Structure 1
Amino acid sequence: MPDTMDTAIPAPTPANGPETVPPPASADVPGAPAEPASLAGQVRSALIWRSGSQIVAQMVQWCATFLVIRILAPADYGLFAMCQVILTFMAMLNGYGLASGLIQQKEISQREVRQLFGMLIVLNGALAIAQLSLAPLASAYYRQPIVGDMLRVQALLYLTTPFIALPYALLSRAMDFRHQAKANITASIASASAALGGALYGLGVWTLVIAPIVLFSVRGAMMTWSARSLVWPSFNFRGAGTIARYGGVMAAGQLFWFLQSQADVFIAGRSFSPHTLGIYTTSLFLTQIFVSKFVPPLNEVAFSAYARMQADPDAIGRAFVKGVRMVMIVAMPFYMGLAATAEPLVLTVLGDKWRETAPVVQLLALAMPFMTLQVLFTPASDARGRPGIGVRNGATGALILTIAFLVGVRWGPTGMGIAWIAAYPLYLAISAWRTLPVIGVRAREIVRAVASPAVAAIAMAAIVTLVDRSLPPLDAHWRLAVLVPVGAAVYASWMGLFARPTIRELIAVVRKQPTPE
């Protein structure tokens, strides 16, 4: 289930006729026409609130998550991963595509808001019933009866979705993320408390079931209150064709995203034991922290910003290249550093019982830069009114990755890691060939944007590896304490010497100063 954002706008005013609610273009004058400077200020504010809240929320969750991982067994995470395949499949139909359709429109009416709420209620009610029906089949496929019991309880998640997706759509139109930030942080604290309490109390795998229910329940209540979006739902869907069609295309794209993101767990879950599957999925969790936790909020802000730039296609292209450059400055050292320090990091953070994840983490970290760049494409092409591009890219990825996983599963978690490395560069190349002309960007611009941080991060990883091999025998935490500062110093020095314009641009963005194009 996708992360939701955190913003606040005035509630849509009741309409007697076809009164519309235009997206506010200024924090000071709701509904005013957007000026470039105003939009730039809104984007910066949105990034601060969205990314800032994401960092705070994730820090809270990670503190609890890593403590819980040390308490629970790998088999618990393997069982939970089996359930996640079903939950992720259902989540692609939960109506977030409809919400995106509302965001993308230039104007919306009160009637459309009520129709969206009605659609969300119908969709998610049907999904809850469908999951209850699928629970016995999932238990039989994985040969784990407890999986069915977990899925029945997790059906409660769908009851919260309408109260998150509707305010998400309304608030995103305003690009004011302050109230959503409060909802995210509060929900994260509640969820982390539930997770840690459950693990300490001895609930085992049920800890992983309860925590998301708490997370989404608290977030839904706060989001609805902040957006004042508790309207009477309309189940008369006449005239909602535009939103429904856009949402349908987005759902199709999410279907292929599901196939590529869950194919590995679906395939491995049948072949691996719960313990081995837990090793693999926990390795994925560690390596995908950046792309799954930090990039999605950036994409949410980017989609809203790109949608406001539709009259200036060149501006979308320039913004996309700048976004790629800023993201990869942070992503590349994270992934290469993770590959270079996998063993001491795993032993320090997770403990010795997770030692088997270290070689898998090293492999997966090498594939993640390609995945990070890939997921940046979709918001730009969607905002250009071409969501079909993302659908075709998703279909391509689903095919390539599924074939790779079917081959790699024979060699266990290590084989799955090699499958990621082999498949993702090909997937990215095809997606770039298809998407960049739509965005208005040339491939060489992307190469230039990525080159400096990539070279610096590879040099950093090589030096960190050499330093690690030259160290005397040390405990894992002491090794990590030496290697992390070394890596940070090498990367910063390299960028300072060979990529000063990029660093100046990053500093200008942080300081809210104009940046040269």
Structure 2
Amino acid sequence: MEADKLKVAVLHSLKWVVAGKVLTQVFRWVMTFWVIRLLTPEDYGLVAMADVLLSFLMLIVGALFSPAIVQSKHIDNLTLSRLFGGVLLVHSSVFLLQYFSADLVASYYNADAVADILKVNAWCFLILAFNVIPQALLTRQMQFKKISIISALSNITAAVTTLLMALNDYGYWSIVIGEVLSITLKTILVIAVNPVLLFPRFDLSAASEYLKFGGIVVVHGIIFYIFTHVDVFIAGRYLSAAEVGLFALSLQFALMPQKKLLPLLKQIAFPAFSKIQDNTSKLAWYVEKVQRLSFTLTIPIFWGLASVVDLAIPIILGEKWIDAIYPCIIILFMMPLRFSDELFFPALKSQRKVGHLIVNTLIATTALTISLLLLVGYGALGLALAWLVSFPCVYTINVTRNCNALNVSLKAVGVCLIKPIVCGGVMVATIFSMKLVIGNVSICNMFLQIGIGALTYVLTSFLFNRKSLKELIFLFKR
């Protein structure tokens, strides 16, 4: 009975996640692509370099308190008040740290504009301090309808503001101010929807258990952050802002589907897995199903986009971004593995196996750093090749460790990968065969290739991967 209730809650939450994304992402993508056409590779390079520190600190404050609140079976107002006191102390400290280290970071990159960006972005931490607890409680209660609506309103407002500023020649400030506005509006709306009246208490002794779990999550978050940002950190030192911008754009374009979908799926999966954390057999069953559906869904998305990105980038973003095509293709072909790897995180965290995640991420970070240092001299293309060389090896090691830790069949996960790869390979071959016949760059040609590719994948999946295809269709019909 509890399992049925959980299934209904997960499906209901997923509906609101998908609905919120469908309503906002088409609009946001149009706005984003329009902004990219207006800005330069240098603009994106400066924002990407500043984002290395900002994202690092955001990850720390985001992982310290929220996961502990969501994962906890019982939590009272006194503990929440003490946690709120901790939130205020941590966020204020991080604000001061970023503000006063901005000049030092700028000197590392030899780019004064980076300091200005960081000093403005630093104010986000003070704003977010009032978002943490009401947002975590909404997530804990699986109130994803409210979360989706809030996210949609704030994201759309920020996207419009960013575009208007870009049209008025504000350059990289368009992105910076848009992000600050998004965080501010999201905080205001979360408080309005879920007002939590707490007076901060600066005694964390009773909340130490929650902070201990959050602290371990932070350690993993720091290492994972290094893993996901070491490329720009190394590139910013050895390459020009324009070259960093080309790679950052390639990465942003390739990660766009993942950045919009994966965080929300993990947001749903973590509280869902936490509710069945004591039922290891059911948790393993869900993990296998999630991986099966992940490959069935992500291979056509990422490989399909890789097959048409040679048309999409010049048409959507403009000729000045042509050099981003090959790095983007390389990253896109690797993305289904990265998506699959991160989908193990919620299940492992629900079992408090954060130490296991730390080891996984250390393996990945070491392999990627070595590859980057060897290939950074080849510019944006070399950075993309570093990912392609290192990550498949890392994935093989980590998925084996994950399956052992969760009592999941490694063979079952391997089978999940084979059929979508076959169907995706047929799709890619079909699209590239079309390019030999119709090679001109045009919108009609791009949509024709997308349509034929999608049809090819669905038909081959119907023949070779029918079970997973039916599961996906059933999931979105519920």
Q: Does TM, normalized by the shorter one, top 0.5?
A: yes
The one of 446, 452, 459 aligned to 1:480:
446
Q: Take 1:452 and 1:446, find their aligned partners in 2: how far apart are those partners?
A: 11
1:506 aligns to 2:459 (yes or no) = no
In 2, Cα distance between the equivalents of 1:479 and 1:511? 31
Q: How far 1:51 sits from its partner (Å)?
A: 3.3
Q: Is the 8 A contact 2:105 2:114 kept in 1?
A: yes
Q: Counterpart in 1 of 2:107? A: 140
Deviations 1:370-393 (A, max 9, x none): 211111111111101211111111
Alignment-mate amino acid for residue 250 of structure 1:
V
How far 1:95 moved relative to its partner?
A: 4.0
* Superposition pairs of residues 108-507 of structure 1, within 5 angstroms: 108-471=75-438, 473-507=439-473
Q: CA deviation at 1:443?
A: 1.0
SS in 2 for 1:356: helix
* 2:59 corresponds to which of 89, 92, 102: 92
SS of equivalent to 1:163? coil
3-state SS of 2:130 partner: helix
Question: Which 4+ residue blocks in structure 1 deviate beyond 4 angstroms?
Answer: none
Partner of 1:10: none
Structure 2: distance between partners of 1:489 and 1:385: 42
Deviation at 1:395, TM superposition (A): 1.4
Q: CA deviation at 1:97?
A: 3.1
Structure 1, 477-486 or 503-512: larger mean CA deviation:
503-512
- Specify the alignment match of 2:33 in structure 1: 66
Partner of 1:53: 20
For the Cα contact (< 8 Å) 1:68–1:199, is it kept in 2?
yes
> How many correspondences in the alignment?
478
What is the CA–CA distance in structure 1 between the aligned matches of 2:131 and 2:13, rounded to whole Å? Answer: 18
Aligned partners of 2:82 and 2:200 also within 8 Å: yes
1:78 deviation in Å?
A: 0.4
**Change in 2 beyond 3 A, CA 1:475/1:310:** closer
Whichever residue aligns with residue 50 of structure 1, its letter is V
Identity %: 26
Counterpart CA distance in 1 for 2:175 and 2:471 is 41
Partner of residue 46, structure 2: 79
How far apart are 1:165 and its partner, in Å? 2.0
Give the Å deviation of 1:269: 0.7
In the alignment, residue 126 of structure 1 is paired with which amino acid? Answer: S
**Aligned-pair RMSD on alpha carbons?**
1.3
Q: Whole-Å Cα distance in 1 between the matches of residues 241 and 78 of structure 2?
A: 48
Question: CA–CA distance in 2 between the matches of 1:97 and 1:315?
Answer: 28
SS of alignment partner, residue 341 of structure 1:
helix
- 8 Å contact 1:103–1:169 — kept in the other structure? yes
Distance 1:55 1:451 in 2: 29
CA distance in 2, matches of 1:417, 1:104: 36
Give, in angstroms, the shift of residue 99 of structure 1: 1.1
**Contact kept? 1:93, 1:123, Cα under 8 Å:** no
Match of 1:102 among 46, 62, 69: 69
Structure 1 position 88, deviation (Å): 1.3
> Deviation at 1:230?
4.1
Does the 8 Å CA contact 2:251/2:328 hold for their aligned counterparts?
Answer: yes
Q: Which amino acid aligns with 2:436?
A: R
* TM-score (structure 2 length as normaliser): 0.97
Identify if the C-alpha distance between structure 1 residues 361 and 467 changes in structure 2 by more than 3 Å, giving closer, same or farther.
Answer: same
Q: Helix, strand or coil: the match of 2:352? A: coil
Judge which range, 108-117 or 214-223, deviates more: 108-117
Q: Kindly provide the amino acid, as one letter, of the partner of residue 47 in structure 2.
A: F
Which residue in the other structure is 1:22 paired with?
A: none
Higher deviation after alignment, 338-347 or 46-55: 46-55
Measure how far apart 1:92 and its partner are. Answer: 2.1
Using the alignment, how far apart are the partners of 1:264 and 1:208 within structure 2?
A: 21
* Deviation per residue, 1:344-401 (Å, 9 max, x gap): 0111111111111111111111221221111111111110121111111111111111
Segments of 5+ residues of structure 1 without an aligned counterpart are 1-33, 513-517
Indicate conservation of the 8 Å contact 2:15/2:476, yes or no: no
